[in-house]
Amino acid sequence: MTTVRLETDENRIAHLILDRPNASSNVMDPAFGEDLAGCLDALEAGPDLAGVIVRSEKKSFMAGGDLDLLRRVDDDNAATVLGLLNSLKRSFRRLELLHKPVVACLTGTALGGGFELALACTHRIVLDDPRIRVGLPEVTLGLLPGAGGVSRMVRLLGLEAAMPLLTEGKQLAPDAAEQQGLVHERAATTEALYEQAKAYIRANPEVCAPWDRKGFKLPGGLPNQPRLAPLLSVAPAMIKQKTHGCYPAPVAVLAAAVEGASLDIEAAGRIENRYFMPLAKGPVAKSLISTLFFQKNAIDGGWNRPTAEAEPIRRVGVLGAGMMGAGIAWACASKGIPVVLLDVSREKAEHGKAHSEKLVARRVGQGRWTEAQGNDVLDSIKPTSDYTDLKDCDLVIEAVFEDRSLKAEVTRAAEAAIGTESLIASNTSTLPITSLATAVSDPARFVGLHFFSPVEKMPLVEIIRGEHSSDVSLARAYDLVKRIGKTPIVVDDGRGFFTSRVFSTYTYEGLAMLAEGVPAAEIENAAWLAGLPVGPLAVMDEVSLGLLEHVRAQTRADLEAAGQTAPEHPGDAVLDRMLALKRLGRAKGAGFYDYPAEGPKRLWPGLAQEFGASVTAPLQDLKDRLLAVQALESVRILDESVLNSVAEANIGSIFGLGFPAWTGGVLQYINQYGLDAFVERATDLARRYGDRFQPPASLVERARNHQTYQDKDTRA
């Protein structure tokens, strides 16, 4: 296999062509390392050349390192991986020391190892296509750039400018990359790009990397210089604030950058290795790679799409112009899909459209859109109170209050106005889709489409299959979700489905802790330290305790109608007391937090008086309870076949619920913990805090058989 080939043109320019056989992208694996070294042997031993062009025959320049290899790094194969890193470093350094103009021609995205290769070239030209991205995002997968990327970016930009790019893994479009100094030129077309490369080679017959020039000084100064002291003293704290202390990679990147800045580039590369290998062998990188690369790519590629031919959705109707309905209208209109936004009055519908007007104004003000683009989006949203305006919609999404009778009423009215082939969906977060589908004449064309708030920011949509939902209906819904740029998971029916059911365990665990007398600040801080974006008390204030009570009451009524009794939870008493005190959440100005007119929110001091604050709970217990209660509920949902895959559980929990990404998601968290250890820990929590932590029999059996949670066909 030859992943790199060497050709020489009539201008005495050598072309290093990246073209991995039988693959859609180029990857830095052992074969690439060997092939690149062989090409450099030929370049160094061959005839005198004018220069070198490095280019790709693929759509992208290079995808980066072989993540399948990296996520399997352990003590047994660590030497092989370290050998590959050193081989790549040597080859990149040899390319740099040719003392000939070497131009990286980026006609497609160059990330990770691909951009590390580009940084080893003396000149970089990128096609001016806004879809292209360049950068070193390894930190987002728990790693650091291991082929010289840290060393070269620091020498190119200086520590101050390089730090945000390296520790946050920023990916830049061509214009931003040029402004930052990561690329030297942009080209309007591929043909122009190669002409610019040849012109550079002709104009610079002898050139070397800036750091190989005599007298080179690091931009902005060395780490020991006084002007950098403020940056280096606060940088660890800034990283801790952003990562909650749960991600080791940004700290390792910072250390490698600072320690290597005062050394020659070969020694700096050895520093990179020292930090890279522990990260690669660690659990966080393995979890991030498995979930956010392999599982996410599988879902993005349609792995979970229902297998059915489906007509595309061309016009959407949204019933209800409140927060969710207005957000759904924006999500569709901003992607070019006309929307009819309906509410009980034209005034309310106009108010819902105003949400899109604010978002358009923000984008125009930021220069991201032109006024014409913004007007096109707004013109595609039609506010109305007349159901007959829905007649041309081939999808209607109900997004009214969580009231079964109200949902049935608006759904029937919409069905009477639309065609018999149109799809009907509910944005309910808790009510079973099969029961809501009784409001329509043909339940086969009724599905759940659960968006998350705020819709314009949240990337997930949960598609729910009712008992009678057809594959065609589900496929149409799936295709719409992809078209508007969201990530779809497909789950089966059940109260709360997947995400709302797991979310309730998180919020109620916070209530249970409060009921036990744990100080509210300790509960919220434990959530933050576990990597959760918002504490359980704060998130309940945002959702509204009134809504939580409505969902609880509807659940109890439905279960009683079915001859069942709703289970009691230790958090119920706290919710009851807060409702009695009329502290219903942020929208009402008072909940678990106070919301003063001036200044930030703060925890309500009355919580200590109402629920006590004298229990000193181990911090690790608090953190483990908040994570484990969600993971255990996900296992139960998987057992009940409401969840159909491990990938959708992990992706859904991270993108929809804010479950900490460092875990890899709710089921990968159990894998990372170790199934035997997790069963033991859950059993201990159950003994001390309640049966909700008792591990399901299926989990105990998996642990006994040494079976982790994984899907066979996602490679993760």
Q: What is the DSSP string of 336-402?
A: T--EEEE-SSHHHHHHHHHHHHHHHHHHHHTTSS-HHHHHHHHHTEEEES-GGGGTT-SEEEE---S
Number of alpha carbons in the 13 Å side-chain half-sphere of residue 284: 22
Q: Among 379, 383, 235, 275, which Cα is nearest to 320's? A: 383
CATH 3.40.50.12500 for the 4-281 domain, yes or no: no
Check residue 452 and give its pLDDT.
93
Residue 20's pLDDT is what?
A: 92
Q: Is the peptide bond before 248 cis (omega within 30 degrees of 0)?
A: no
Contact 599, 631 (CB under 8 A): no
pLDDT at 128: 95
Q: What is the pLDDT of residue 715?
A: 64
Domain residues of the chain, as ranges? Answer: 4-281, 316-495, 499-614
- Please give the pLDDT value at position 110: 95
Dump pLDDT digits (tens) for 261-278.
999 999 999 999 999 999
| pLDDT attached to residue 689 | 96
Please list the ranges in the chain whose pLDDT falls under 50: none
Q: What pLDDT does residue 1 have?
A: 54
Place of tokens 């280096």: 232
Closest CA to 4 of 193, 13, 14: 14
Question: Can you tell me the distance from the alpha carbon of 120 to that of 92, in angstroms, rounded to the nearest whole number?
Answer: 6
Please give the pLDDT value at position 561.
81
- The pLDDT, as a whole number, for residue 46 is 82
Specify the CATH number of the domain 316-495.
3.40.50.720
The pLDDT mean for the chain works out to 93
Among left, alpha and beta (phi > 0; psi -120 to 50; other), residue 348 is alpha
316-495 and 4-281 share a CATH fold:
no
Beta-carbon contacts of 368 under 8 Å, excluding residues fewer than 6 positions away, are none
Look at domain 499-614 and name its CATH class. mainly alpha
